[in-house]
């Protein structure tokens, strides 16, 4: 069953303002003075290489989201611009920021929530609708963190999922047994007015051990899906799910040829791993699409709630849906993992470890879910940027990120290959910049040239 998001509880009075492609012109113009010589600041859509979206990806979006070709193309552009606009507004709103999301067939409407009524004018001026709510995003994150700590002491499959739902302005706890949810909440000490308990029949589980086209095989038995190609120095490899294998587990590829070895793996807690390949295998900047066509990977900018997202797996191939919530926790029979993203994309056993991509931006690797691709389902992916950062990996992209640790020119602390979280600060060319959207830096994404990712301070 496809579980959709809860309806928002608090609605502010704001005029509708469709997101337009010029929504970042003000932000871009404000930073033009810091643009590198001979370079022009790019729109968010250009920065994220939206034009690289292949026909196979667009067809999957049309099929699974009920879109026309034109809507699918426009949706990717709007979502890129919406993410950048929301990031700029988040900086302006500061502690009052309460989340952002996109809506509409082509993601043409961006909504930004705030706890401060005076912010509405600035939000509308930025190209978004304003929503006045009770709790800040920071407050909701703290509430969820309290639930995570309580679950680490005593988790229960009767409370399989909880997450920050920015549209509902609440932490939603999905429970098979209401009493189990109340026990978790009580043990957490969290403020109950920020929490909603909703019934569910979900039984999430890791998705492994099946046959599939792009499967890889673990030495001790079982099959999973390759996530994203990565490098670590001169070593080739790929990112995947932690529950697929432990450090030292050997793998063979889809063709049963010896492939590599798990170098590190975390599960539960997180669901991350990476495999170093032998010299017979080379990392490529692609995800396998429908009919085994190559889908380009050009970066790793996380997309907002409501954005379209597609998944590639060895069992079910290409399927698309939308991002329901970030900052989700899910309890499997093996234990609880935190920090995953919840989506409406279907998946089945064997798709584990596979790729989630939005446009050409890597989003994460498949962890688990419930349901199937016949009746619909809910899935969870481990975001790619924390995985890259945790293991010191470089995502393989068609644009080439450069080697980690090399300071950018003309001087400063910014470096290609580094994973930057929103709010991080760097220097470049004598100026200081604040990161707006989390990503792994790459050549061509120098701070002065990409106002969708960096703001001069």
Which residues are designated catalytic?
243, 271, 352
Rama region for 392: left / alpha / beta (φ>0; ψ in -120 to 50; rest):
left
Token pair, residue 282, equals 């080379």
Tokens encoding 328? 């989700």
Query: Residue 50 gets which letter from DSSP?
Result: G
Contact 247, 262 (CB under 8 A): yes
| DSSP tag of 451 | T
**In the structure encoding, which two tokens stand for residue 133, read together?**
């709510």
Instruction: Give the gyration radius of the chain's Cα atoms.
Output: 21
Q: Return the closest-CA partner of residue 169 out of 331, 12, 309.
A: 12
What is the per-residue DSSP string for 129-169? EEEE-SS-HHHHHHHHHHHHHHHHHS--TTS-EEEEETTTT
How would DSSP label each residue in 187-228?
HHT--GGGEEEEE-----EE--S---TTEEEETTS-EEE---
Angstrom distances, CA of residue 398 to CA of 15, 174, 295, 440: 41, 40, 10, 14
Token pair, residue 316, equals 């079910």
């Amino acid at each position: 069953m496809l579980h959709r998001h809860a309806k928002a509880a608090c609605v502010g009075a704001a005029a509708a303002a469709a997101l337009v492609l010029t929504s970042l012109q003000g932000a871009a113009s404000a930073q033009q003075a810091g643009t590198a010589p001979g370079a022009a600041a790019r729109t968010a859509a250009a920065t994220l290489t939206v034009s690289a979206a292949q026909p196979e990806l667009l067809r999957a979006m049309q099929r699974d989201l009920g879109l026309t070709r034109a809507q699918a193309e426009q949706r990717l552009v709007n979502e890129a611009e919406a993410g950048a606009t929301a990031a700029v507004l988040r900086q302006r709103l500061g502690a009052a920021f309460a989340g952002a999301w996109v809506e509409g067939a082509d993601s043409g409407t961006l909504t930004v929530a705030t706890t401060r009524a005076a912010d509405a004018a600035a939000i509308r001026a930025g190209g978004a609708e304003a929503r006045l709510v009770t709790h800040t995003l920071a407050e909701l994150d703290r509430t969820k963190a309290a639930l995570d700590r309580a679950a680490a002491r005593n988790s229960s499959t009767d409370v399989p999922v909880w997450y920050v739902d920015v549209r509902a302005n609440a932490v939603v706890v999905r429970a098979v047994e209401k009493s189990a949810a109340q026990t978790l909440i009580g043990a957490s000490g969290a403020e109950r007015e920020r929490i909603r308990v909703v019934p569910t029949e979900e039984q999430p589980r890791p998705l492994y051990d099946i046959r599939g086209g792009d499967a890889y095989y673990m030495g001790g038995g079982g099959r999973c899906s390759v996530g994203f190609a990565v490098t670590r120095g001169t070593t080739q490899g790929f990112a995947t799910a932690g529950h697929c294998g432990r450090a030292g587990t050997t793998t063979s590829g889809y063709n049963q040829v010896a492939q590599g070895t798990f170098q590190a793996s975390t599960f539960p807690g997180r669901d991350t791993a990476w495999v170093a390949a032998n010299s017979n295998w080379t990392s490529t900047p692609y995800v396998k699409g429908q009919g085994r066509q190559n889908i380009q990977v050009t970066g790793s900018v996380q997309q907002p709630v409501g954005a379209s997202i597609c998944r590639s797996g060895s069992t079910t191939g290409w399927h698309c849906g939308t991002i329901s919530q970030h900052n989700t926790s899910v309890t499997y029979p093996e234990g609880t993992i935190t920090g995953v993203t919840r989506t409406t994309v279907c998946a089945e056993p064997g798709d584990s470890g596979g790729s989630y991509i939005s446009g050409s931006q890597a989003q994460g690797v498949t962890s688990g879910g419930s349901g199937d691709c016949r009746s619909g389902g809910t899935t969870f992916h481990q975001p790619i940027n924390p995985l890259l950062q945790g293991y010191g990996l470089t995502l393989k992209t068609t644009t080439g990120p450069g080697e980690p640790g090399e300071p950018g020119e003309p001087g400063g602390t910014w470096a290609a290959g580094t994973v930057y979280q929103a709010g991080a600060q760097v220097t470049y060319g004598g100026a200081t910049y604040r990161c707006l959207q989390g990503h792994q830096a790459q050549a061509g994404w120098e701070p002065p040239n990409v106002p969708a990712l960096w703001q001069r301070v």
